[in-house]
Amino acid sequence: MWGIYFRASRFMDPLTIGGFYIKSFNIPDCWRICRKHFRAVVSDGGFVKLNKFRSRLNMGRLRDICVKIKPIHLYFSVLDWLFPDRVGVKSKANHAFPIGGEYVIDVDSYVFRKRHRHVLDGCSGVCVECLRTSRDLTIHACEAIERYYSNIAVVFSGRRGFHIHVLDFNASDWARYDSRNPIRSHEAARFRFSKLISLETYVFDEKHFTLSVDPMRIVTVPNSLNAETGLKCIYIGDRKDLERSTINGILERSKLNIYCHPEP
Ligand SMILES: [Zn+2]
C-alpha cells in the first residue's frame, strides 16, 4: 500500500485534554512564548485566537487558557511578533511588526513514497514504519541545514512525521530586508533557502514547499497534545538526539499515562 496510514479515531475526551494541560504542558525555553501568536482548534472544529485578550502570553496564562478551551490542536506562528494580538490576514499583518522567527519544515514520509506494509501502533493507530521513514528523512534534512545553521530543534508532529525548527534562521541572510514590507522580506528569504535545501533533500512536495515558504504559517506547539491521536507532540532535541531515539521510544514518551482500551 502506498502512502501514510493513520487509523481515524475519535477525539480524546475533554477531561483528559484538560488534565494534560494542567499537569504536563510546558514549552521548552528555546521558543519565545511572549512573541508568538497562538491559535487552537477546538472540539467544534473552529479556530480560536489565544492572544485576543492579552497581547503577549506567558506559560501560566497559556496553560490556563488551554485548560479552559481544551484544544484538539494547538498552534503558534513561526514568526515572532511585537504585537502578537494584531496578527491576522497577511495584508494587514505589518501592523503587528514581525521581529524575526524560525524557519520550519514539515517532514512526512508519504512525500518519499517508500513501499511497505503499514504496522500500526495499538493505542494511537499511527504507522511505525511510516514514522521510521520520516525519522530518516528528518535526519538527512537536518544534516543539509547544518551547513548553514546550528540551532535546530526537532519536534514529533503527534501523528506521521516531524517538524524541523531552524531557530537561528535569519531572513537577512537570504534577502534584503525591506522595512516597508517585512513580511515580503521573510517570504523571499524562506523561498531562497527552501530552494537550496530542496536540491539536497527529499522532504518537499509542492504543498510542503509552499508551507515552508509562507511566513504567516502556524505550526504545532512543541510539547502540546494532538487530541486526535492522543499523542504528545514531544520536543525531541537536535539531530543527534533524534538519531539516538527509536520510533518505539518516541511513541512511548508521547503517550499519556491512561489506560488504552483494546479494540472490540
Ligand atoms: Zn506505513
* Rounded Cα distance, 224 and 187, in Å: 27
What average pLDDT does this structure show over 174-179?
A: 91
Residue 3 lies in a domain: no
Give residue 135 CA to ligand 1 midpoint distance, Å.
13
Rounded to two decimals, the pTM is 0.92
Q: What is the CATH number of the domain that holds 225?
A: 3.90.920.10
Average pLDDT value for residue range 117-139 = 91
How many Å lie between the centroid of ligand 1 and the Cα of residue 263? 20
The answer to whether position 264 is within a domain reads no
Residue 63 is assigned to a structural domain of this protein: yes
What is the CA(236)–ligand 1 centre distance, in A? 21
- Residues 200, 202, 203, 207, CA torsion sign: positive
Residue 180 located in a structural domain: yes
Q: For the segment 32-79, what is each residue's pLDDT rounded down to a tens digit?
A: 999 999 999 999 889 999 998 778 999 999 999 999 999 999 999 999
Model confidence at 6, pLDDT cuts 50, 70, 90, reads: very low
Expressed in angstroms and rounded, the spacing between residue 159 Cα and the centre of ligand 1 is 11
Instruction: Report residue 180's pLDDT band, with 50, 70 and 90 as the boundaries.
Output: confident
| CA 113–ligand 1 middle distance (angstroms) | 10
161-165, 195-199, 252-256: range with lowest mean pLDDT = 252-256
Tell me, what's the pLDDT at 173? Answer: 96
pLDDT score, position 1? 38
The rounded Å distance from CA 133 to ligand 1 centre is 9
1, part of any domain: no
Rounded Cα distance, 37 and 96, in Å:
10
**How far away, in angstroms, is 121 Cα from ligand 1 center?**
10
Distance 82 CA to ligand 1 centre (A): 42
Helix H or strand E encompassing 103: strand 103-108
State the distance from the centre of ligand 1 to the C-alpha of 3, rounded, in angstroms. Answer: 7
Whole-number Å distance, alpha carbon 232 to ligand 1 midpoint, is 20
Please give the pLDDT value at position 111: 83
Mean pLDDT in the chain?
A: 90
pLDDT above 70 for 5: no
Look at residue 258 in the predicted model and tell me its pLDDT: 59
pLDDT at 113 over 60: yes
Instruction: Say if 55 falls within a structural domain.
Output: yes
Q: How close is the Cα of 104 to the center of ligand 1, in Å?
A: 24
- Residue numbers of the domain that contains 76: 14-254
CA–centroid distance, residue 117 to ligand 1 (Å): 6
Has residue 240 been placed in a domain?
yes
CA distance 64 to 13: 18
The total domain count for the chain is 1
Q: How far is the CA of 224 from the centre of ligand 1 (A)?
A: 24
- Give the distance (Å) from ligand 1 centre to CA of residue 107: 14
The answer to whether residue 260 sits within a structural domain is no
What pLDDT score does 10 carry?
A: 65
Instruction: Take residue 9 and report the three cell numbers written for it.
Output: 479515531
